[in-house]
Every structure is written in C-alpha cells, then in structure tokens.
Structure 1
C-alpha cells in the first residue's frame, strides 16, 4: 500500500498564492517526519538543503528556493520554513486512519513560485521514497 495525494487546491489573493495539499501515507508519523525535517529527507524528494537548524528560529537554506528561518517546529508534527523573500512552506503531520499519517502541506508565496503541478511531482517522489 502506498500513499496518495488526496487533495490539492490553489488560491490567489492579489499577488499572494497559496497552495494546499493533503497527502496520506500508510506509514506512521514518525516514519514520515524525517523526510520533512532533515537535510537528507528533504533532499531526497524536494530540494537539496545547505543548512537546516532543526529548531524554532533556526536557519534554513534550501538550494534553488532561498534562505530564511524555521518559523514553526513541533517535533514529529510541524516544520515550517519561511524564506527571506516571504515564501513559506509548512508541513503539518497528523495521525490518519489506522497506523497511517496525513500530511497537510501549505506553500505561500508572492509572484512566481513552485506550481501546483511541480508540487504534485515532488509529492509523488516523497510517496515513492517512503514506499
């Protein structure tokens, strides 16, 4: 059994774009968390990480995305990275049916950013990495 992208939505408010995704996994939260919160995990499916201080207020530098700070950190549940250009990526894990987990991903940015289809491609890679 593999994960699946259950839902994806896109909203635009002026020059601000907000993408939301819901992805379910048969794996428990503790198995998914490293893929969202470690340089090795993020690099395997999304983007290489040059710096990641895993704590609230820590520095983050995502190659091709930018640098900034960790603006939310709740171990095994929430990792949020806010970049210097104002873009924000939030990963929120929660228990799902049975032993599985659900990821709520929010990407907020101004102007040009990662498209909905590009995120779907990244999330398919994440599902493959965890499978």
Structure 2
C-alpha cells in the first residue's frame, strides 16, 4: 500500500492552483533532508539538480529525467532540516516542510503553487503523487531508474484524479 494519499488542491484565481500533499513516511527526517535538498538525493526520485545553491536566494535548475522538462529559478525558503522551497519556471513554488515524528518517521507537508489549466492541475497532481511514491522507494534503497520509466503509473493516477474531480 502506498504511503502517499491523494492530494488536495484549491483554485487561487483564474488558472492558479495550490496543490497540497501530506506524507507520513517511515524515515527519519535526517534521511529525508538530503533527498529533498542535494543533487544526489533529488536524482533518486524527482529530477537532476543541474544547479543547486543550497541557501536562501541560491540558483536552482531542475531537469526532470522522465519528461525532459527543465525548470530554473531560486531557493525561496531555506531552514536547514525543516523547510526547502524552490520557485522555478514550469512548476512555480515548490515547498517541502518536514516535521519529525519520534525518531524514525517524518511528516512532509508539500505545497505546489502554480499556474495552469484544469488539465495541467490534474497532470501535476498525478506527477507529484508518483514522484512521492518514488521518494519512498529511494529512501528504502531503491532509487528511480529513469532509463526504464514509463508513464503507466502516471496515467493510472491521472485517471484517478480526473475521476475525483468529476465526483
């Protein structure tokens, strides 16, 4: 069973969305922080960090290895081992807020504030959902093998989010 539950989203104006996930992962936040904030960690579940200046105001360039999308921007929030936020082209504001639960699990409160159509909102909900499943796998020692990635899981998730939207 996936540790990733379906996200919530709310419209913040015409073609502006706030997407939210809350994840409860059985990993210490000391293990999660590098997965969210280092080139090696990000590559295992999200994207290649071609540029990542790990400080407030630092430059960031993320290249999604499953789609080829390249997003450039800045680190817009940085609180070591608690908050990492990147504001980038293509994906808007991406914020990870970590909260330890005991010594061996962590809650991630994730927000993605972005522009886009309803179809793009559904695409992103499915995409983030799949990436968070990949994060859990990477933390368990199974990083993504991008050479074998297909859109099968994404398509299933996209259909599920579209079904929820119609309900």
Which residue pairs with 1:93 in the alignment? 98
Checking the alignment, whether the CA contact within 8 Å between 2:91 and 2:112 is kept in structure 1 is no
Please say which structure displays the higher CA radius of gyration. Answer: 2
Spell out, residue by residue over 1:110-129, the C-alpha distance to the aligned partner (whole angstroms, 9 max, x if none).
12465211111100000111
Note the residue ranges of structure 2 that are not aligned, 5 or more in a row: 64-68, 141-167
Q: How far is the alpha carbon of 1:24 from its aligned partner?
A: 1.1
Question: Structure 2: how far apart are the matches of 1:116 and 1:84?
Answer: 17
TM-score when normalising by structure 2 = 0.71
Identify, as 1 or 2, the structure richer in strand: 1
Larger RCO (alpha carbons 8 Å, 6+ apart): 1
Q: Where has structure 1 moved over 6 Å in runs of 4 or more?
A: none
Question: Structure 1: how far apart are the matches of 2:91 and 2:24?
Answer: 28
Question: Which shows bigger deviation, 110-119 or 75-84?
Answer: 110-119
Identify, as 1 or 2, the structure richer in helix: 2
Q: Given the alignment, which residue of 76, 80, 99 partners 1:75? A: 80
Question: Structure 2: how far apart are the matches of 1:86 and 1:29?
Answer: 24
Aligned length: 130
Q: How far is the alpha carbon of 1:99 from its aligned partner?
A: 2.8
Which residue pairs with 1:121 in the alignment? 130
Correspondence 1:1-131 to 2 at 5 A: 4-13=3-12, 14-63=14-63, 64-84=69-89, 87-97=92-102, 99-111=104-116, 112=120, 115-131=124-140
Note the residue ranges of structure 1 that are not aligned, 5 or more in a row: none
Question: Which shows bigger deviation, 67-76 or 94-103?
Answer: 94-103
Question: Structure 2: how far apart are the matches of 1:79 and 1:71?
Answer: 8
C-alpha RMSD of the superposition: 2.0
